[in-house]
Structures are given as structure tokens and as C-alpha cells.
Amino acid sequence: MTAYFGLLKVGKATSSDKTIVVSAAAGATGSIVAQIAKHVLGCKTVIGLAGSPEKCKILKDHGIDIALNYKDEDFEEQFIKATPEYIDVYFDNVGGKILDLSLDRMARDGRIVTCGAISSYNSNGGTAISAKSYTRVVNI
């Protein structure tokens, strides 16, 4: 239900969206978001972010167009290359640095669904949205 309502009602995703990015795309919510975007809406490019080659393979096996391992040394370059038309919908399950990077790649009138903040769950006093992200969100 979180994936369905988050993507379709909060994110207002449609088949005309060119690029949808899903963080933690191999997780319970993220995997359903990615599959709805690709197989129900038929979006042109669905990009799933995961933390291992094995998880990226699972995403590709489920028809996701591009699977990126955020632990790769050149992840940022891969991410920029994968989003030449920028991001129409970013379904965020992690916050932190990946959110910062995604904010830089958002298309005009793009939407961000904030579902989780995995990157800070185990931190001591940290926040999911860095000062950089917060400033950008306020200025959009």
C-alpha cells in the first residue's frame, strides 16, 4: 500500500514520466514502486538503486531498466549518466547523500516522495536530510 499510494497519489506518477528513480529499490517498498513504475505505468526509464551487485541483478531480472550500486566508487558519475533527461519522480527511501545527488538531477516540476531515511536510522544524532538538502528543498 505504501508503494502504491506513495508513487501514484503522493508522487502523482504517470506513464508520461520519462525517468523515475527509486532508492532502496531491492527492499520491500522500493521493489514494488519500481515494478509499478515499469510494468503498470510503463515509464520510459526506471532506475533502481541498491547496495550490492546481487541486488542490482535482481532488479534487472525484474525488468528495471537501470540498476545502480550506490557503493560503487563511480556511483555519482553513473547516476548522472543514467539521468540525462533528469528525474521526474524520485521515490526516496534513504535520505542523506543520495537525496542530495537526486535533488541536483530533478527535472522541472519533478516530484519527490519521501518514504524513509535509512541512511540515518543508526546514526548518533544525524539527520536524513543534510543542510545542503534542506537548503535546496526550501529554495525549490
pLDDT of residue 116: 73
Q: What is the pLDDT of residue 129?
A: 47
In this prediction the pTM is 0.85
The amino acid that residue 23 corresponds to is S
Helix/strand/coil for 110: strand
Q: Which of 28, 46, 18 is nearest to 93 (CA)?
A: 28
59 band by pLDDT with thresholds 50, 70 and 90: very high
Quick one: the chain helix, strand, coil %, rounded to 5? 45, 20, 35
Beta bridge partners of 113: 91
Give the residue numbers spanning the domain of 46. Answer: 2-139
CATH number at residue 50: 3.40.50.720
Report whether 69 contacts 82 (CB < 8 A): no
113 within 8 A of 138, measured Cβ to Cβ? no
How many domains in the chain? Answer: 1
Residue predicted with more confidence, 130 or 59? 59
Residues 20/43, Cβ–Cβ less than 8 Å:
yes
> Average pLDDT of 33-38?
98
Tens of pLDDT, residue by residue over 88-121, are 999 999 988 999 999 999 999 999 999 876 555 4
Residue 18 has pLDDT above 90, yes or no: yes
Measured CA to CA, the distance from residue 78 to residue 82 in angstroms comes to: 6
- Residue 22 corresponds to which amino acid? V
**Predicted pLDDT at 134:** 42
